[in-house]
Amino acid sequence: MDILIAVAILGILSLIAEIFNLRKAIVPVTVIGLIAVLGHAVYKAMYGTTLLNWELDESQYFNMVQSTKYGLAFSSLFILLTIFLVTLSADFHKNHQPKISDFVAIKLFLLTGAIAMVTFGNMAMFFLGIEILSISLYVLAASEPKNVKSNEAGMKYFLMGAFASGILLFGIALIYGATGTFDIPTIMSLNNANLPSWYTIGSVLIAIGLLFKIAAVPFHFWAPDVYEGSPALTTATMSTLAKVAAMASFFKLITSLNPHLPGFLTTINIVAVLSMIVGNLIALRQINVKRMLAFSGIAHAGYMMLAFQFLDYTNAQANLFYYAAAYALAGIAAFAVVLSVCGNKGNEEIYNFNGLGKTNPLLAGILTCALLSMAGIPIFSGFFAKFFLFDQVLDKGRLILVIFAVISSIISVGYYFKLILAMYTKESTEEVQPVPVAYTTVAVASIALNIIIGLVPSFVMSLVR
Amino acid sequence: MENILQQVGIDNYIYLSTLLFCVGIFGVLYRRNAIVMFMSIEIMLNAVNLLLVAFSTYHQDAAGQVFVFFSMAVAAAEVAVGLAILVAVYRNHNGIDIDNLKKLKG
């Protein structure tokens, strides 16, 4: 609860700073504030208390928010990602300097929504969280009103998102009808064998609504268009923060609702396998980097859904968290490079990256590391994340899932290497452009964190366990 | 109110809401005018509100009606953003037909 309030206050402060003409201070102050909140969240996740022994009594807020280790760990990850995204936004919105406070404030409110989505203790909080996240993203996706592509992306995302929210809300209403409460602990304590059939229908509708949000096959068709059309920084937000948040809350919700439906897990598994295969196969023939990363994100949603085998084990939560952290950090690093290479070119085709290995070896190296981490090549945390996840699926005796997952990660190496080869084997056609310091800093920091969590997986997992 | 609910039966409320919800879904899927699609989404959300209120009376519990306020507020915010996007689309395309939006393909 305290984290949620602190982040919301930071968002309001950055709106107020606009009134007092303190635009230059917005980004640094926000980043410092977020680092403080991050320290607080990590400390709370590790030791269970706060540094100053100052805590809000959550029962006074009708258990709207539950600060479980799972929720706190994911909140810390979201705050870290937002720090990177806010740092990037100062240079990205250079041409819209007067609007910088809006962009930063919307990102902070988006973070509020994401935190509410993983720490909710009540359906109302969950619904508000997912809507705050989505509405902020609609605004960000359409935030270049003169750009036809951004219009189209915003409109498509809005229609799909609102449609999915409607389905989700219908599911919540049916679950309320079956149980008579919105409180998650109460719902968990009910024996759901005796509940009316609306309960199962409601759970399925909620699952469909969330599958839309995480863009899993067959509900993925909006993702490539929206990712391609949105401004690049918004694409980075969607493919890291929003995807991980939706995935974490999907896991938490399915674990708490625990629908005893024959074939529910099988359906989830089929969706996971389809997402991996379809995402990776279609990504092979993309020439736009943002679109390629969109399909790669669909495939990664599939991998993350493998964690759903073990609905009630803390190991599954730890594995999901580790995978999410590895994927999101690699994604931020990749997008920081994409921003600095394609920043003012108006398109993100692969040929923009030709010869980057010679003109800017540092950025090329970082992008290579990020892509190798996503593909699951050792020493990067992406490999260990996949390893732990597949290991647990094997423990459950579901060999066939692991076979599909490994085959699709081999396919994925194909398109990641297409980009890497373009950087190192082709000649550059354009003159070198200066890269803003913020982009390089963020790229280096996130790829360094990615490698570090690959070296100490036990620390990252102990945040959740 | 309780009496009416008993006479009509909670099942019929569920059927009515589901029907309205499906009207909304088919509106989104088949109509190509953005404004009509927005209206269809509103029908979907209002069908849910009706269901929540019916369940609230059925359970004798106020939480459902409070939830309706949340969902109405959220729907208002959502439509405000949606109409803003629509205005931007109209300025660039001189129309609000969804079929005009097909620049992104791959």
Q: What is the per-residue pLDDT across A3-61, written as a single tens digit (0 to 9) for each?
A: 999 999 999 999 999 888 888 888 999 999 999 999 989 988 888 777 666 666 667 77
Q: Give the C-alpha separation, A141 to A316, whole Å.
A: 33
Residue A268 lies in a domain: no
Residue A119 lies in a domain: no
Please count the structural domains in chain A: 1
Cβ of A148 within 8 Å of Cβ of B93? The answer is yes
Task: Point out the residue among A152, A176, A228 whose CB comes nearest to the CB of B64.
Answer: A176
Q: How far apart are CA B64 and CA A181, in angstroms?
A: 8
Q: What is the CB neighbour count within 10 angstroms for residue A370?
A: 27
User: Domain for residue A5, yes or no?
Assistant: no
Q: Residue A158 and residue B82: Cβ atoms within 8 Å?
A: yes
**Least CB-CB distance to A177: which of B21, B55, B91?**
B55
Separation between Cα atoms, residue A373 and residue A326, nearest integer Å? 8
Calculate what percentage of chain A has a pLDDT beyond 70.
96
Residues of the domain holding A372: 275-465
* pLDDT, tens digit, 9 for 90 and up, residues A120-134: 999 999 999 999 999
Q: How far apart are CA B15 and CA B18, in angstroms?
A: 5
**pLDDT digit string, tens, across residues B45-68:** 999 999 999 999 999 999 999 999
Q: Give a yes or no: residue A351 inside a domain.
A: yes
* CATH of segment(s) B2-98: 1.10.287.3510
CA angle A218, A312, A213 (to 5 degrees): 25
Could you tell me if A290 lies within 8 Å of chain B, comparing CB atoms? no
Q: Is the pLDDT of residue A192 over 70?
A: no
Structural domain contains residue A116 = no
pTM for this entry: 0.94
B36/chain A closest Cα distance in angstroms: 12
- CB–CB contacts below 8 A, A to B: 128
Q: For residues A244 and A324, is the Cβ–Cβ distance under 8 A?
A: yes
Q: How far apart are CA A217 and CA A457, in angstroms?
A: 30
Q: Give A138's pLDDT tier (boundaries 50, 70, 90).
A: very high
Whole-number pLDDT of residue A333: 95
Mean pLDDT of the A343-351 span: 79
Residue of A163, A166, A180 lying closest to B59 (CB–CB): A180
In a domain, A250, yes or no: no
CA distances from A372 to A276, A332, A365, A408 (A): 17, 14, 10, 15
Domain boundaries, chain B: 2-98
Paired tokens of A100 = 């910088």
Within a 13 Å sphere around the CA of A379, how many CA atoms are in the beta-carbon half?
Answer: 5
Quote ipTM for the complex: 0.95
**Chain-chain contact of A225 with B89 (C-beta, under 8 angstroms):** no
CA angle A80, A15, A128 (to 5 degrees): 65
pLDDT digits (tens, 9 = 90+) for A423-442: 899 887 777 778 889 999 99
Is A177 close to B70, i.e. CB distance below 8 A?
A: no
**pLDDT score of B43:** 95
| Residue to test with chain A: of B26, B74, B83, B102, most A Cβ within 10 A | B74
Q: Are the beta carbons of A166 and B21 separated by less than 8 Å?
A: yes
Determine, for residues A138 and B82 on separate chains, whether the beta-carbon distance falls below 8 Å.
yes
